[in-house]
Structure 1
Amino acid sequence: MEEAQGIQVYKFGGASVKDAAAILNLCRIVRDFGPQGPLVIVVSAMGKTTNALEEIYDLAYRGADYSGQFSALATAHRATVEELMRLQLPKEADVNTELVEEILAELADALVSIDTVWTYDQGYDQIVSYGERLSVAIVTGALANNFSWNEVSKSAAKELITTNENWREGQVDWVETAENIKLNINQLVASGIELIVTEGFIGGTNTNFHTTLGREGSDYTAAILAYCLRAESVTIWKDVAGLLNADPKLFPDTVRYPEISYRETIEMAYYGASVIHPKTLKPLADRNIPLRVKSFLDPAAEGTLIHDCQHPALAPAFIRKTEQCLISFESKDFAFVSEENLEVIFGALAQARLKINLMQNSAISFSVCTDFSERRVHQLLDLLREQFTLHYNTGLTLFTIKNYDAASITRLTAGKRLLLEQRTRNTFQFVCQ
C-alpha cells in the first residue's frame, strides 16, 4: 500500500485542550489555519490530568483512598463536555458523552482491580494512559460537531504505535509501527476522512498492554506518525510565540528564533528545553520533515521553523531543570575511579533507569546529576553501596547555557551557590541549590 500523500500532522498539548474554550479554539485553528488535505491531530491529556492520574495511581497502588481525587478528575471532564455542548454547538450536538462515561467507568474498574503482580511502572502505563483517551474522545466529538461526523475519526494510538515492554519509556518497533500507521491512516483517508485524531504519549504492546513513550511524549508521537507517513510537515501548537531562548515565565526578555536547525534544536531539547520532547527531532531530520512551533493564542503569527538550515550565531539559550539529584560515588580504598568502576556505575544507573544530565569525575570520585526519583535513586544506592561510598543531594537545579558568552554566564550564576560546573566549547552547565 502506498503512503497517503499530502498529510500534515498537528500536535496540541495539555494547555491547548485544558477546557471547553481551549478545545473550541483548537477547532477554530483547524478550520481557519489547517491544510486543505488530510490532517492527523495528536492531542495530550487535558491540562494537568496526567499529574492527577499519577497521584491517583500512586494512592491506588499503595492501597490508599483516592476517591476524592478521582471524583475531581471525572467532574472536570464531565464539565468540559457539558460546556462544549452549551457553547457554539447545535442543540442536537453530542461530544461523545457516552464514550467519555465508558472510559471513566473503565478507569474506575482498572483502579479497583490493579494487579499487584504488575511492577509499579507497568501499572503506571495502564492507568496514566486514560488521560489521553479521555481527551481524544472529547476533542474528536468537538471537531465532528464543528465539521462533520463524516470527516472526522479517532484512531487509537495503542493500535498505531507498537512498542516493547519498557514501561514508561516504550521503545518503538518501527517496522510494525510503520505498517500499522500506513494501513490505518490510508484506509481512513481513502474513505473520505479528513481529520484523524489520536492520542499522544501512548502506544501498545503485542500483548495488548498500554505503554507510554516518556513524560511529555506527545511531540514524539507526532514525529513517529509524520515519519511513517512521510508527512509534509509537523506543527506543534504551544502557548508561546515559537521556540524561545528561555522560558518566558522565568526570563522577561526572551528571544524567539525565527528558524533553527535540527541539530541545534536536538541539543537544546536534550539539555531540557521544555518546548520539544528530546526524541522528536531525529525521525523528522531523517525524513527532512520541517517542524513548526506556533502559538495557539496567536495562530496567525510566524512562530519558529525547525529544518535543515544554516544560520548565524544564535542568542544564548537558558535552560533550567528542577528537582535534580547530585550523586557522588567515591572508591572506598582511595583507588582511582577506573574504567571498571565506571562500567559498574553505568550499569547500575541503567538498571535503575536514571538518565544522566551531567557527569564529572575526579581521581577518586565520580558524580552525576539526574532527575530525582526517590524510588529509583534508592534502588541505585542499594546496588552500589557495598562498592562505593555514596553521597547525594536533592532539591537541586541544573542550569544550561547553550551558545554561552561571558555576559550570559555572569548573569545566570550571580548570587548562586554552585555545587558542580562544566564547560565545553558551546555549552556551560552548573548545578546549584
Structure 2
Amino acid sequence: MQVLKFGGTSVGSTQAIEQVCSIIASYKRKGRMAVVVSAMSGVTDKLIAAGQQAGQGQEQYRTILQEIENRHLEAIRGLFPITVQSSLLSQVKKQLNQLESLCDGIFQVGELSRRSLDKLMSFGELLSSWIVAEKLKQMGLPAGWKDSRELISTDAQFGHALVDFEVTDHQVTSFFQHQPSEYVILPGFIASGPDKETTTLGRGGSDYTAAIVAAAMDASVLEIWTDVSGMMTADPRLVPQAIAIPRISYEEAMELSHFGAKVIYPPTIQPVMNRRIPIWIKNTFAPDDYGTLIQDNGEKPFPVTGISGIQKIALLTLEGSGMVGIPGFSKRLFDALLREKVNVILITQSSSEHSITTGVHESDMLKAKAAIDSEFAQEIHDKRIEPLLVERDLAIVAVVGDNMKNYHGLSGKLFGALGRNAINVRAIAQGSTEKNISAVINKADVKKALNVIHEVFFESETRQVNVFVAGTGNVGGKLLEQLQSQQSYLLQELGLQVRIMGIANSRKMRFSETGIHLDNWKADLEAGHEMDLTQFAQRVRDMNLRNSVFVDNTASDEVAGLYSTFLQHGISVVTCNKIACSSEYANYKKLKDLARKFNASFLFETNVGAGLPVINTLNDLVRSGDKVNTIEAVLSGSLNFVFNNFVNGANFRKVVKAAQDEGYTEPDPRIDLSGKDVMRKILILARESGAVLEMKDIVNHSFLPDEALHAKDVNAFYEQLDVHAAHFQQLLQNASDKGERLKFVARYHNGEASVGLQSVGREHPFYQLEGKDNIVLFTTSRYAEQPLIVKGAGAGADVTASGIFADIIRTVR
C-alpha cells in the first residue's frame, strides 16, 4: 500500500486539484492507495479568523464565511460538468450551512473555546478531501471517501491532541481490511477525542495524519506532495541559491524540520521512522522532479546536509555564584517552565555552573520570566542569584548533518565564516551526536547568516561579493566598465560572483536586491532616488549582505566620514579617496583598528600610485619583519607630466594649462602644484611603514610663489604664472646647467618627511621617469645596498580603476 498526502497549495485552485487527480490517476495498477488531503491554501486561516470575529461579537465573520463558500463553490463549477453540479453543490452547501450555524452559536455565546475552534477548523479538510474524492470518481477511478475522525483517536487536548496509537492502529487496519475502494481519500489534520468530539493534530497535522496511516498499514512509501521539489539545503526565500537535497536520513530531516524547515511537519517522521518506511517529498507542480527521499542514511557529498533557522527567539539566562556546586537548580528551572507549558528550544550551561541559558519562543518570554523569578524569589532576594536575564529579537541558525562528526574543524569553519561577516554569536549548542550545531544570533542577521553558512558549506567553488559604489565619474565609470567586462572571467576562473547592489553619485542613488545590471547602470541610476548620504549609508547597512564592500571613488570628506560606520558593521571599505588615511593619525589608526576588530578589509592601494602595488609591497615588507629606513618617491603623475614637458625654454603657464586640458591635474591646478596631494601620499606611506606622523609634521618646500598659490581663483593663478615666468625659467635653467632634470620628490627618512622640487642627475633612478609615471624607492634593512623599486603609470582613470578592482577582489581572497 502507498500513502500520498497533498498540501494546501496542491489543492488551492481548480487547476491544482486537476493536477492532483492526474497524479493520483498515474498510479493506476500500482496497488491500493490512501490519499490524505489538506484544506485549500488559506482556508484554515480564514476559518480561524471567522471564529475569532464571531467570538468577539463582530459580524464580519459572515463576510469571511461567504469568501470560503465562494471559493469551494467555484471549485465545484470549475471541476465538474454542469450536468452533475447540482447535487455536488447541494452537498457542499449542506456542510457550509453547518459551518455557519457553528459560527452563529459562537457569536451568540461570545466565546471561542478550543473545542469549538477544532470543530471549526475541521471544515477545511472535510470539504477539500470530499471534492477530490468526487473528482476522482467522475474520472472513472474506484475512489471512496472516509472521515479521518472515525480512524484516528486522540486525547481531549484540543488544538494539539495526542494520538492513542493502539486504538488508532486497530481502527485503521480494520477499516482498510474491509474497504473495497482502490483509492481512499482522507481529510488530514482532524481526529476525534474520547467523547467523539472533533480534535486536531496541530498545524501541519495533515502530514501527521498521512504518517499515522502509513505506519498502521506498514506502507511501502509515504509521499508528501507540496509546492517545492523536496527539502532544500536552506530556505530558498532567504537563500536563493539553495539546492534540493536528493537523499536525507530520518534524523537529519527531524533536526531540519524542528529548526524551521517547513516542508515537513516534525512529528510526521517519528511513526514512519519506527517502521523504516521511506518518505518521499515531491512537487505537485513539477511531478517529474526527483524531490527528496528520506530513509536510512546513505553516502552524501557534503558534511552538512542542510541549514535552517528559527526566528523570534528569546534567551533566558539564570546566573549567580549561589548556583555553583548546588544540585537541583536545573530541575527547578525546567520544572517552572514545564508548569507554564513553555517549550525549551535550546539549552547551554557554563562549565563553572555559574549560569544556565535556555532559548524559548518570544511569545513565551514573559510568562517564562515570571515563573522563574517566582521559583527563585528567595535566592534572588538573598542575592545568591540574579533576576532572570531576558534577551529578545534573536534567532537560531542550525547546521545539520549525519556526516559532520567525521570532519575536523567544521565548527571552526562555521563560526569563522560568521565572524568574518560581523555576525555576533550569543549562544552555542551542540548535541553529543554531533548531528547539529546551533547558534543564537541577532534576528536582523538571519538572512545574512544563512547565506554565509550556505556559501561556506555548499558553494565552495563560488563566492558572492556584494559591492556598493559611491562616485561614478572618470574612475567610478571605468571601474563599473571593468567589472562588467570581467564578470564571466571572475566567475569561471576565480569562482567570484561580483554583484553591484548600490550605486550613487552626487545627485542620485540606486539600490537593487538582486543586483544592478551593468549594461544599463547609467539609466538605472538616473531613475533612482535623490542622493542622501545618510540614507545611502543606512540602506547599505540595512541590506546586511554577506561579503559586502563599499567602494569610494570620490574625493569627499563626507563620504570618507562613513568609513567607520561601515567597518563597524563588517562592511569592507575600498577607496581611492586619500582624505581618511591622511587625516589625523588618531582617525587613521581608528579605521585600521576597526577593520581588525570587525573582520573587515580597509584597502586603499590607489591612495598612492593609482594601480601600482606600492602599499601592498610596503605592507609585505613590514609584515615579513623588514625595517623601512628610507622612502623616496615621485608620487604625482600630474607634476611629473608638467616637469617632463617643461624643457627647452617652454612656457610654464602653457605646460600647466596643457596638463589641465589633458585631465592630468585637478580643475584647480594649485591642488597638484602646491604639493599637498604628494604630502598626503608620503604621509600614508610613512604611516604604513609604522611612523606616527601628522600632516603638519611634513615639510613642504614649495616652488610656487605665494602670489600664485594664494590667487583668488584659477584665472588669477594663471596670470601669476605669467608674472613669475622668470622664476620658473630660473628653476629650469639651474637644473639644466648641472645636466639634471626637475622632479617633485617626496622623502621619508628616520621618522621625518618632506616634499619639494629637486633636480636629479642622470645616475638617479628618477632621471629617466617619463610621462605621468610614478616611482617609489624603498631602502630597508634587507634592501640596503640597492633599493626596492616600484615604477609605472601613477595616474589615469583606467589604472586607478584597475587598482580599486584588485582591492575589491582582495577583500574576499
TM-score (norm 1): 0.86
Paired AA for residue 361 in structure 2: D
Is the Cα–Cα contact under 8 Å of residues 151 and 191 in structure 2 kept in the other structure? yes
Q: 2:98 aligns with which of 90, 96, 106?
A: 106
What SS is found at the alignment partner of 2:208?
Answer: helix
Highest relative contact order (Cα 8 Å, sep 6+), 1 or 2?
Answer: 1
User: Which of 1 and 2 has greater Rg?
Assistant: 2
3-state SS of 2:294 partner? strand
- DSSP 3-state at the match of 1:126: helix
| Contact 1:242–1:295 (Cα < 8 Å) also in 2 | yes
Which one of the candidate residues 56, 67, 74 is aligned to 1:79? 74
Deviations 1:119-139 (A, max 9, x none): 843333222222211211222
Residue among 397, 416, 425 paired with 2:395: 397
Match of 1:227 in 2: 215
Residues 36/165 of structure 1: CA separation in 2 closer, same or farther (3 Å cut): same
Q: Is the helix fraction higher in 1 or 2?
A: 2
What is the aligned counterpart of 1:321 among 303, 306, 310?
310
User: What's the secondary structure of 1:280's corresponding residue?
Assistant: helix
Contact 1:95–1:138 (8 Å) recurs in 2: no
Q: Any conservation in 2 of the 1:345–1:384 contact (CA below 8 Å)?
A: yes
% identical equivalent positions:
26
1:142 to 131, 135, 142: 135
State yes or no: 1:169 paired with 2:147: no
Distance in 2 between the 1:188 and 1:337 partners?
A: 63
- Which of 350, 355, 359 is the matching residue for 2:338? 350
Q: 1:149-168 deviations in whole A, cap 9, x for unaligned? A: xx211111111100011222
1:185-213 CA-to-partner distances (Å, cap 9, x unmatched) read 22223xxx111111111211120211111
* 3-state SS in 2 of match to 1:113: helix
Matches within 5 A, 1:256-295: 256-295=244-283
Match of 2:436 in 1: 427
Conserved in 2, the CA contact under 8 Å of 1:201 and 1:213? yes
**1:25 Cα deviation after fit:** 0.5
Change (3 A) 1:345 1:98: farther
TM-superposed CA distance for 1:181, in Å, is: 0.8
**Residues of 2 paired with 1:234 and 1:125: CA distance?**
26
Aligned residue pair count: 416
Q: Report the secondary structure of 2:48's partner residue.
A: helix
Distance in 2 between residues matched to 1:58 and 1:334, nearest whole Å: 47
Match of 1:10 in 2: 4
RMSD: 2.9
Choose the corresponding residue for 2:149, options 151, 155, 158.
158
Alignment match, 2:358:
368
Write the distance in 1 (CA, Å) between the matches of 2:322 and 2:149. 51
Residue 51 of structure 1 is aligned with which of 30, 45, 53? 45
Query: In the alignment, is the contact (CA less than 8 A) between 1:294 and 1:304 conserved in 2?
Result: yes
SS in 1 for 2:335: helix
Once residues 263 and 47 of structure 1 are traced to their aligned partners in structure 2, the CA distance between those partners, rounded to angstroms, is 29
Provide the C-alpha distance between the structure 2 equivalents of 1:359 and 1:211, rounded to a whole number of angstroms: 32
> Following the alignment from structure 1 to structure 2, what is the Cα–Cα distance between the partners of residues 339 and 164?
36
Residue in 2 that maps onto 1:255? 243
Change (3 A) 1:93 1:128: closer
Deviation digits for residues 28-53 of structure 1 (CA, Å, limit 9, x no counterpart): 11112455221100011111222222
CA distance 1:99–1:359, change in 2 (3 Å): farther
Measured after TM superposition, the shift of residue 380 of structure 1 is: 3.9
Instruction: Report the equivalent of 2:122.
Output: 129
SS in 1 for 2:178: helix
Q: Which moved more, 1:155-164 or 1:75-84?
A: 75-84
In 2, Cα distance between equivalents of 1:48 and 1:409: 39
8 Å CA contact retained: 1:316, 1:408: no
Report the Cα offset of residue 316 of structure 1: 4.1
Q: For each residue in 1:348-381, what CA deviation from the matched residue of structure 2 results, as whole angstroms up to 9, or x when unmatched?
A: 43343332221223545433323343xx555444
Q: CA–CA distance in 1 between the matches of 2:12 and 2:296?
A: 33
Task: Give 1:299's match in structure 2, choosing from 287, 291, 307.
Answer: 287
Q: Distance in 1 between matches of 2:70 and 2:437?
A: 46
**Which shifted more, 113-122 or 26-35?**
113-122
Q: Which residue of 1 is the match for residue 375 of structure 2?
A: 387
Counterpart in 2 of 1:61? Answer: 55
State the 1:382 CA deviation: 4.6
- Give, as a single letter, the amino acid of the residue that structure 1 aligns with 2:203: R
Aligned to 1:4: none
| Superposition deviation, residue 291 in structure 1 | 1.3
User: How far did residue 409 of structure 1 move?
Assistant: 4.8
1:214 alignment partner in structure 2: 202
> 1:236 maps to what in 2?
224
CA contact (8 A) 2:152 2:168 kept: yes
- How far the C-alpha of 1:252 sits from its partner, in A, is 1.8
Range that drifts further, 200-209 or 422-431: 422-431
The equivalent of 1:70 in structure 2 is 65
Contact 1:126–1:210, Cα closer than 8 Å, also in 2:
yes
Cα deviation digits, residues 167-186 of structure 1 (max 9, x gap): 22211111110111112222
Q: Please point out which of 173, 177, 183 is paired with 1:186.
A: 177
2: CA distance, partners of 1:262 / 1:35: 29
* Residues 96, 137 of structure 1: 8 Å contact kept: no
After superposition, the C-alpha distances for 1:229-253 in whole angstroms (9 at most, x for unaligned) are 1111111112222222112222122
Corresponding position of 2:610: none
CA pair 16-94 structure 1, distance change in 2 beyond 3 A: farther
Change (3 A) 1:113 1:416: farther
Structure 2: distance between partners of 1:156 and 1:261:
32
Query: Closer, same or farther in 2 for the Cα pair 1:70/1:400, shift >3 Å?
Result: same
Partner of 2:15: 21
8 Å CA contact 1:259–1:306 kept in 2: the answer is yes
User: C-alpha separation between the residues in 2 aligned to 1:101 and 1:338?
Assistant: 65
- In the aligned structure 2, how far is the partner of 1:125 from the partner of 1:279? 19
Conserved? CA contact 1:8–1:35, under 8 Å: no
The range that moved more, 327-336 or 219-228, is 327-336
CA shift for structure 1 position 412: 6.0
Gaps of 5+ in 2: 377-386, 405-409, 444-813
> How far apart, in 2, do the equivalents of 1:410 and 1:55 lie?
45
Instruction: Mark the CA change 1:371 to 1:133 in structure 2 (over 3 Å): closer, same or farther.
Output: farther
1:110 match: secondary structure? helix
Question: Kindly tell me: are residues 327 and 41 of structure 1, through their superposed partners in 2, closer, same or farther at Cα, counting changes over 3 Å?
Answer: same
